Structure 1
Amino acid sequence: MRLQLPTAADTHEFGLRLAALLRAGDLVILTGPLGAGKTALTQGIGAGLGVEGRITSPTFVIARSHRAGEAGVPLVHVDAYRLEHLDELDDLDLDTDVDAAVTVVEWGAGLAERLAESHLEIAVDRRTGATGEDETREAVLHARGGDWAERLAALGLPVGAAA
C-alpha cells in the first residue's frame, strides 16, 4: 500500500487511523531519511492509542515508554539509529513490557525485525519541490507476516492515498 500524505497533519492523521488497527505486542518499523515524518507518524499513533504525555523523538535516550491513558495501550518508541545489536534494546531496561505495548522503532530495519514474529514496516519519504521546500510525504506499507495484510485492508485508503 502506497500513500500520499500532503501535510504533517495528514501524516499525524494517518497515525491516528493506523492506531485503530494496532494491539499490544505489535511491532511497527519506520524507515526513511531525517525529516521524513517518522516522529510525526508516531505522534499520531500515540494519540490514537491514548497514551499519556508528549511524544518526541527518542534520539538521545534511544527509547521512551509512554503509559496508556484510560482504556489505552502503552507505546514503546525506539530510535535505533545508534544501536548496533538487538541486545542493546534489552539493556535499556524499559519499564514497559513490549508484549503489553505497541512498539514503534525508527531506523529499525535490519535490526528490530527480530523483536516479533511479524511486523509492519513503513517506509516514509518526502518529495522535495523545485524550490527545495518539503512537500508531500509518501508512506509505503509492507505487511511482514501475521495478519498484517488483512488489517491493512481494513484500514481503507486514508487522506491522499494512491489507488
Structure 2
Amino acid sequence: MRIALSDLAAMERFGASIAGALRLGDVVALSGGLGAGKTTLARAIIAALGFSGEVPSPSFSIVEPYAPPAVRLPLAHADFYRLARPEEAEEIGLDDYRQGAVLIAEWPDHAGGFAHEPGCLSITLEIADDGRIAIVEGGADWLGRMPR
C-alpha cells in the first residue's frame, strides 16, 4: 500500500494511525534514505502513544526505551544506522529491550531485518515533491489493522 504524506501534519496523522493499532511484540521497521523522515515518523508514533517530552534521535545511544505511564505501551526506539553488522544488535541487548514491548526500528536492515516476523509493519519512506510517500507492508499479525 502507498500512502501520500504531503506535509508534517499528514506524517503526524499517519503516526497516530500506527500508534492506535500497535500491540505488544509489534515491530515498526522504518526504511528510507537519509532525510526521508524515519525519525519524524517515529516521533509522531511516540507522541501519539502519549509521550509529551522531546523525543531524541537514538542515533548515538542506538536504543531509547519508553515506559508507561509516559506512553500507552512500553516501547524501544532504535536507530541501527551505526551498526557494522547485524550481530551487534544482539550484543547491545536488543532482545531485552523488545521483551514485552513495541520496537520502532530505523535502518532495520543494519540489524538483520524484521520483515520475516508476523508482527512487523515495514514502512519505506521516499521523498516525493515537498512531501513523502510511505510504502507500507504488514506481516500476518497486521491483517485487519493496517494504518491509513
- Scaled by the length of structure 2, the TM-score of the pair is 0.85
What is the CA distance between 1:56 and its match in structure 2?
A: 2.2
May I ask how many residue pairs the two structures share in their alignment? 147
Contact 2:65 2:97 in 1 (8 A): no
1:68 maps to 2:68: yes
Aligned residue in 2 for 1:151: 145
Give the unaligned 5+ runs of structure 2: none
The DSSP-based 3-state class of the residue aligned with 2:21 is coil
For the 8 Å contact 1:36–1:137, the answer to whether it is kept is yes
Preserved contact between residue 51 and residue 71 of structure 2 (Cα < 8 Å): no
Residue 132 of structure 1: aligned partner = none
Residue of structure 1 equivalent to 2:124: 123
Contact 1:27-1:115 within 8 A present in 2 as well: no
Q: Is 2:21 aligned against 1:26?
A: no
Measured against aligned partners, the alpha-carbon deviations of 1:70-104 in whole angstroms (never above 9, x if no partner) come to 6711220111112134432233246x641321101
Give RMSD over aligned pairs: 2.4
Aligned 1:1-163 pairs, distance under 5 A: 1-51=1-51, 53-69=53-69, 72-93=72-93, 97-109=97-109, 111-113=112-114, 116-128=117-129, 135-144=130-139, 146-152=140-146, 155=147, 157=148
Structure 1: 4+ residue segments shifted above 6 A: none
Percentage of identical aligned residues:
34
CA contact (8 A) 2:46 2:71 kept: no
Unmatched segments (≥5 aa) in structure 1: 129-134, 158-163
Q: What is the TM-score with the length of structure 1 in the denominator? A: 0.78
Bigger Cα Rg: 1
Any conservation in 2 of the 1:105–1:112 contact (CA below 8 Å)? Answer: no
